[in-house]
Amino acid sequence: MAEDTETTEEETASDDTEAPAEETETEETDDTEHDGADETDEDAAPDEELLYGVPVHHAFGQTVIFADAESYLDLFGELISDGFQQVVDLCGADYANHVRNDLPASVIPERFEVVVNLISHARRERIRVRCQVAEGASIPSLFDMFPGTEAMEREAFDMFGIEFTDHPDLSRILMPEEWNGFPLRKDFDMGRIPVQFKGAPGQS
Amino acid sequence: MTIAEHTPSEAEIDGLIGGAERVMSRDNAVLRMSEAEAGALSLSPEHEFGDQKMIINMGPSHPSTHGVLRLMLEMEGETVLRSKPIIGYLHTGMEKTGEQLTYLQGGTNVTRMDYSSPLFTELAFSLAVENLLGLEIPERATWIRMMMTELNRMASHLLFMATNGMDLGAVSMMIYGWREREPLLRFFEKVTGLRMNHNYIRPGGVAADLHDGWQEDLLEYLEMLEPRLDEYHILMNGQPIWRDRLQGVGVINEAECLALGTTGPILRSAGSSWDLRRDMPYLAYDQVDFAIPVGEYGDCFDRYAIRLAEIEESIKIVRQCIEKMPSGDYRAQNKKVTPPPRGRIDESMEALIHHFKIFTEGFKVPAGETYAAVESPRGELGVYIVSDGSSTPYRMHVRAPSFVNLQTLPHLMENGLLADAVAVISSVDPIMGEVDR
């Protein structure tokens, strides 16, 4: 009886995963086609859809554009003049052990990503910028354009160790000032961390 | 993605950027120094600090800081010059915890962030997960969600009324605010089983249907509440001491709000009518009538008055929900996402398997990333989820409105009195649980 249950369970489970994943599968095939075209012919790159001069991707009905550290500030300058006057969110992400398949072919994947969500009140639109940041590399701060990113960049630094150059006060915000390590990194071990607070028993 | 209807002109953009010089500058009201630096500075005898200026700490355990907010204030006499909010005292790594929990368990985690309006975080989280799943939820679930979050907005704003009154010495207001909030929490308990941290809105719908007689419960409550809000108007708005205490205190303009990423009642107090419920409708907000209260002066009084008016607007929405509540399912009938009803488990092997799979392994969510935002009582509450195709999020980030809104504090308090700092903190209405996450 028990064995029967297990087999049915496995069958149903494998059936299930296919149904909701259909959407992504089609997207994946799109991407691989792009990949294939690029490998064979360098000139095929312009086929890629561009927005503000950078690759664009439509994820679940949302517009995502991809920046690199060099074009980062210019891109935001362009976005401001196009009406995206508010950065609502900025966060980091660590892709140490996950291979993304939603990156356009011309984007070179790096370990970290800085994800910025902007909003245009006049056009009632949102746009998301994903910027690849290599481990140990830095990215310019958006403070001079959007001072509201000060705390968000501090959080990204605190949690992932992403350096923002020219930030007015790049210090820890949520963790204690003397904390070692970056908690939201994938290699930050969970559950086996000695207490790091000042004056804790057993601490010098 | 909507089609661009209006591209702002150069002048408009300049107008938006201009007016924010105060916050754009690097040398402004924000006291950018660490604890150690501040300590060294106040001890050094050569420094001007020895004479007139000093740095004092307010909080983290101060009754008017609404939790464990600590402020480092640079004072000259009674005047606040620069300041810095110091946060992190409630940080427990909830975003990291969220990476270990399945999408079904995630609700129990995110609901503990903003503890005075927990349904909003659950809603944003569920909307993000449903977006990744491509899951349509039934109409009734949508309307239940909308009604419950509006009730939660009322509860949150009533709590604000109470704490704001308490902070400013209107102690009877504290009792009244809590008194009016209490029946709402009882209603939540009846519907969700818990007074707070409900985990009621889940991917796929809501956890339980509304109980029999919920309409009567609510109508009775609304009938009681409306005349009491009129009493608030008499008690607070008509009172010269209250007005003097708030008017012209902690002023911010629209350009500064935009530059600082501020949303919610603070942005609306400065004259912008930006509200996601109307401007980027989610749920069924395009099918209900409500107004968006907008302030003019961007001061503490406007922020207070907007929240009072928002309670009245929420009552309107709730009344429409009671009228228009559709019948049908309260959660999606998707066997892979919503657990089967208890009765089915005894009858069907399939149901038992699905139940077992959903509660042990969880349901798998297609790979990708998405951002879903709702208008919480404090502003835009967004959830950014990256899925790697497994049953736990690869990365979950919560854009907490209080976290971003806290950045306005130094600018609001600049050159104000220490006593006004209390009014300012209160009017920003930060919830430290979601600031620190």
Convert the pLDDT of each residue in A63-90 to its tens digit. Answer: 899 888 888 888 998 888 888 889 999 9
pLDDT value, residue A25: 41
Residue of chain A whose alpha carbon sits nearest to that of B2:
A125
Residue B1 has pLDDT above 80, yes or no: no
Please tell me the least confidently modeled range out of A158-162, A165-169, A199-203, B60-64: A199-203
Minimum distance, in Å, between the CA of residue A71 and any CA atom of chain B: 21
Q: Looking at the complex, does the CB of residue B13 fall below 8 Å from at least one CB of chain A?
A: yes
Mean pLDDT of A158-166: 91
How many residues comprise chain A? Answer: 204
B164 sits in which H/E element: helix B139-167
- Domain boundaries along the sequence of chain B: 24-86, 94-436
| Residue A54: Cβ within 10 Å count | 22
Mean pLDDT of A9-26: 42
Paired tokens of A156:
């990204």
ipTM of the complex: 0.86
Mean pLDDT of B149-161: 93
Identify whether the C-beta of residue A107 lies closer than 8 Å to the C-beta of residue A35: no
pLDDT value, residue A19: 42
b/e string for B236-248 if b means 16 or more Cβ within 10 A? beeeeebeebbee
Mean pLDDT of B126-144: 92
Partner-chain contact B389 A21, CB within 8 Å? yes
Residue B377 has pLDDT above 90, yes or no: yes
Residue A6 has pLDDT above 70, yes or no: no
Q: Looking at the complex, does the CB of residue B259 fall below 8 Å from at least one CB of chain A?
A: yes
Q: Say whether B128 sits in a helix, a strand or coil.
A: helix
Please state, in angstroms and as integers, the Cα–Cα distance from residue B121 to each residue in B80, B131, B157, following that order: 34, 15, 16
Residue B103 has pLDDT above 60, yes or no: yes
For chain B, the average pLDDT equals: 87
Residue of B134, B380, B406 lying closest to A88 (CB–CB)? B380
pTM: 0.85
Q: Looking at the complex, does the CB of residue B234 fall below 8 Å from at least one CB of chain A?
A: no
Residue A128 banded pLDDT, cuts 50, 70, 90: very high
Partner-chain contact B34 A171, CB within 8 Å? yes
Judge: domain A48-186, CATH 2.60.40.420: no
Residue B2 has pLDDT above 50, yes or no: no
Q: Looking at the complex, does the CB of residue A56 fall below 8 Å from at least one CB of chain B?
A: no
Paired tokens of B103:
């999408």
How far does Cα B94 stand from its chain's mean position?
A: 17
Contacts of A183 in chain B (CB under 8 A): 93, 96
CATH code assigned to B94-436: 1.10.645.10
- Per the DSSP assignment, residues forming a β-bridge with A94 are A112
Mean pLDDT of B231-258: 88
Q: Looking at the complex, does the CB of residue B37 fall below 8 Å from at least one CB of chain A?
A: no
Partner-chain contact B280 A124, CB within 8 Å? yes
Mean pLDDT of A153-176: 90
Which of A:68-107 have CB within 8 Å of B? 80-83, 85-89, 91, 93-94, 98, 100-102
Partner-chain contact B353 A125, CB within 8 Å? no
Q: Say whether B53 sits in a helix, a strand or coil.
A: strand
Can you give the three-state secondary structure of A164-204, one letter per residue?
Answer: EECCCCCCCCCCCCCCCCCCCCCCCCCCCCCCCCCCCCCCC
Residue A40 has pLDDT above 50, yes or no: no
The closest alpha carbon to B362, from B98, B141, B134, belongs to B98
pLDDT value, residue B187: 93
B4-62 pLDDT per residue, tens? 344 444 544 444 445 777 777 777 788 888 877 877 776 665 555 556 778 888 878 77
The Cα–Cα gap between A143 and B24 comes to 8
- Domain boundaries along the sequence of chain A: 48-186
Which stretches does DSSP call E strand in B174-249? 201-202, 205-206
Please state, in angstroms and as integers, the Cα–Cα distance from residue A111 to each residue in A94, B42, B56, following that order: 6, 42, 41
The Cα–Cα gap between B124 and B380 comes to 10
pLDDT value, residue B238: 82
Partner-chain contact B1 A124, CB within 8 Å? no
